[in-house]
Chain A
Amino acid sequence: MSAERHRRHDRNEPGHDREFPQILGAHEDEEERFLRPYAVDAGVAGPDAAGPRGRRGAEQLEMLSLVVAARTPGRHEWLRPERETILMHAQRARTVVELAAEVRLPLGQVRAIAGEMLADGSLQHCGPTRPLGHSDILHAVLVGLRSL
């Protein structure tokens, strides 16, 4: 095994890439400067978590779930720029799928990150201000479309 392959092998050890400081740490090895995708979502959004019924069942979000920032970005967000971006874009209520398009991350990752942010209180779910029945919605959509 070459040295190159050997180094890669070491970095693939389980748990290694979840240690954020290690990845951002002061390694001289210039290869270490590149963040692997796992770092973006702190290892939450593995392939298994990408779907609507991913392994972190508690906070799975629908594409059209509405979320809103519960606070403005804080001092620590520079370590997690995706969260900062999500907080900035979610100052007004946003659907998860719009957030994904705006922050230019795959939907599955935004679902996972937003799920974590809901859990830690930096995002909140929000429901419609005025409850409407399905029929009312359909009638309103029809009127709205006709007037386009």
Chain B
Amino acid sequence: MASADSDTQPTEAIPHAVKIIVAGGFGAGKTTLVSSVSEIAPLSTEELMTEASYGVDDLGGIEDKTTTTVALDFGRITISDDIVLYLFGTPGQDRFWFMWEELAEGALGSVILADTRRLDTCFHAVDFFERRNLPFVVAVNRFEGATAYSEEEVREALDVSASVPVVMADARERMSSKEVLVELVSHVLRSRQAALSG
């Protein structure tokens, strides 16, 4: 460590910090995916939210604003000296919706993890990213005991456009999670090129 008087002069390259959002319903495997592909054990911080949750939670007569703690888990992948990629899982419960805005701000894109046993739990995520024009892919996380649906069936059920990739995945497997991220970034690049040439 430098002496107390000297200025700290960082000698290493300072990277760009970029992020990808991993969204999906509660229990869809977001943290599993982040863990399997992150170079570190996922870090966790929490955000204190002061929000009137009237109409969302049944607070039965509590009229004051309440402070809620929202856990925020994230992983990290060092791409190069110049770029560090962060993977943020969205808070699973719908009532933490308001945190998504900040998470989505400046994100490269999003992975929406779908559980075919409860596809409806990712409708919100699809709507959210469509409205913000943030590119996303749908990754169908294979759960044991879940009926195997085809990509087309999932696409139809979620009503996503033909350009949105729908891929099968196993969030527990590092290589599978990696492929999902590769699919997303390829999709983002294709979308950009289409936008530029169109």
Interface residues of A (CB under 8 A from B): 47-48, 50-52, 62-64, 66, 68-72, 74, 91-93, 95, 97-98, 100-102, 105-110, 126-130, 132, 134-135, 137-146, 148
Contacts and interface: CB of A to CB of B under 8 A. Distances in A.
A132 B13 CA distance: 13
B43, B46, B77, B86 pick with most chain A CB within 10 angstroms: B46
Nearest to B67: A47
B49 A50 contact: yes
A63 B102 contact: yes
A72 B4 CA distance: 5
Given A50-B47, A50-B49, A52-B102, A142 B189 contact: yes
B10 A142 contact: no
A64 B19 contact: yes
A97 B181 contact: no
Contact of B188 (A72, A93, A95, A138): A138
Interface of B: 1-4, 7-8, 10, 12-19, 37, 43-50, 65, 67, 69, 72, 74, 76-77, 79-80, 82-83, 85-86, 102-103, 105-106, 108, 174, 178, 181-182, 185-186, 188-189, 192
Contact of B10 (A62, A93, A145): A93
A145 B10 CA distance: 27
A76 to B, nearest CB: 12
A125 B194 CA distance: 35
Contacts of A68: 8, 10, 14
A56 to B, nearest CB: 15
Contacts of B65: 47
A144 B77 contact: yes
B182 A146 contact: yes
Given A128-B14, A141-B108, 16 more contacts: A62-B106, A72-B3, A95-B17, A95-B86, A101-B43, A101-B74, A107-B47, A108-B47, A128-B15, A129-B14, A132-B83, A138-B185, A139-B189, A141-B85, A143-B79, A148-B77
A140 B80 contact: yes
Contacts of A141: 18, 79, 83, 85, 108, 185
B159 to A, nearest CB: 27
Contact of B45 (A74, A106, A135, A143): A106
B14 A106 contact: no
A132 B82 CA distance: 9
B85 A148 contact: no
B102 A72 contact: no
